[in-house]
Chains A and B, each alone.
Chain A
Amino acid sequence: MNSGKANLWRKLQTGAIWCVAYFLLWLILAAGEAPWFGLLLAVFAAWVSVRINTSRWFIRLSALPAFIVFFLVELWLGAWDVARRAVHPKVPLNPAWVSYPLKTTDEQVRLLLSALTGLLPGTLASHYQQGKLHVHVLDQGQDWAGVISHLEEHLTRLLTGGQP
């Protein structure tokens, strides 16, 4: 009974923090217009955040610049690569489903890795299961594993401060 109450209290606290954050986001993006509508959305978004149990993130700021540079370079290379294939007369593709053995066991790193893989050159993740990331690659001949492995290292350094 007591622990249930403490749990509820913690959820309310987390929800309140999310609510304030979302409301600020609304005020900035909508330049202060329609605050009541924004508040309504913020409450709803906070409820969803508490429901899916997103924990607050730890970020190692010293690892951030290297991550941003790596990510922007790969984003550019990825878009360039896909653009080249799209306008090439023969549309050179050699797509396949492959699986990448995850080195990290950290849930947040895995989640973010799975989402961001879609922005790297030639790779796109659908989900991970039993320590393996399921990835669709545009060209089997490309070094897709190396790129994902680099992103994994960067994210691990950024979110946990250690090595994968």
Chain B
Amino acid sequence: MIEALSILLLWLGGAFFVIGTVGLLRFPDVYSRLHALTKADTLGLGLVILGLSLRADQLFTVLLMLFIWLLVMASSATACQLLARYQLQSDKDSSDGGK
């Protein structure tokens, strides 16, 4: 039962990674693409970690994985924001230069 749930979560997590990439390819502009990658990948990793936690034999391993998820979430939230800010600035610069 736990085995089946774990496999389901791992597949679901993987599916979110794939769909995040589909969004990256299909969405029309940089900002929309950032939405797709940040949200889908963060949830995808969370589901993969949940799936792996069900198989872990030590509590320490589970805590370690949760910790890694938090760190990845923090860095992707920050990176996403910085990329959006950078792109916004360069859009502004190029429209100023065009005038």
Instruction: List A residues 27-86 near B (Cβ within 8 Å).
Output: 28-29, 75-76, 78-79, 81-83, 85-86
Q: Assuming A86-B22, A93-B32, A136-B31, is B64 touching A126 (CB within 8 A)?
A: no
Contact of B19 among A86, A116, A124, A134 (CB under 8 A): A86
> Closest CB-CB distance, B15 to chain A, in whole Å?
8
**B36 beta carbon closer than 8 Å to chain A:** yes
0/1 interface trace, chain B 28-50, chain A, CB 8 Å (1 if under): 11011011101110111010000
Contact B77 A116 (CB under 8 A): yes
Q: Are B32 and A79 in contact (CB under 8 A)?
A: no
Which residues 85-130 of A sit at the B interface, judged by CB distance below 8 A? Answer: 85-87, 91, 93, 95, 114-116, 118-119, 121-122, 124-127
Partner of B77, one of A29, A93, A119: A119
B54 at the interface (CB under 8 A from A): no
> How many of chain B's residues touch chain A, expressed as a range?
20 to 34
Q: Is the CB of A95 within 8 A of B68?
A: no
Number of interface residues of A (CB under 8 A): 29
- Judge whether B28 and A93 touch: CB under 8 Å: yes
Which secondary structure characterizes the binding site on chain B?
helix
A68 → B minimal CB distance (Å): 11
Known: A29-B68, A83-B40, A124-B34. A91 touches B81 (CB 8 A): no
A122 with B35, Cβ < 8 A, contacts A75-B43, A95-B29, A115-B77 known: yes
Q: Is the CB of A85 within 8 A of B23?
A: yes
Asked if B36 and A28 make an inter-chain contact with CB atoms under 8 angstroms apart, the answer reads no
Residue-by-residue, is B78-94 near A (CB-CB < 8 Å gives 1, otherwise 0)? 10110011001000000
The answer, yes or no, to whether B26 is at the interface (CB within 8 Å) is yes
Most buried by A among B20, B34, B39, B77: B39
A interface with B by C-beta (< 8 Å): 28-29, 75-76, 78-79, 81-83, 85-87, 91, 93, 95, 114-116, 118-119, 121-122, 124-127, 134, 136, 138
Interface residues of B (CB under 8 A from A): 16, 19-20, 22-23, 26-29, 31-32, 34-36, 38-40, 42-44, 46, 64, 67-68, 73-74, 77-78, 80-81, 84-85, 88
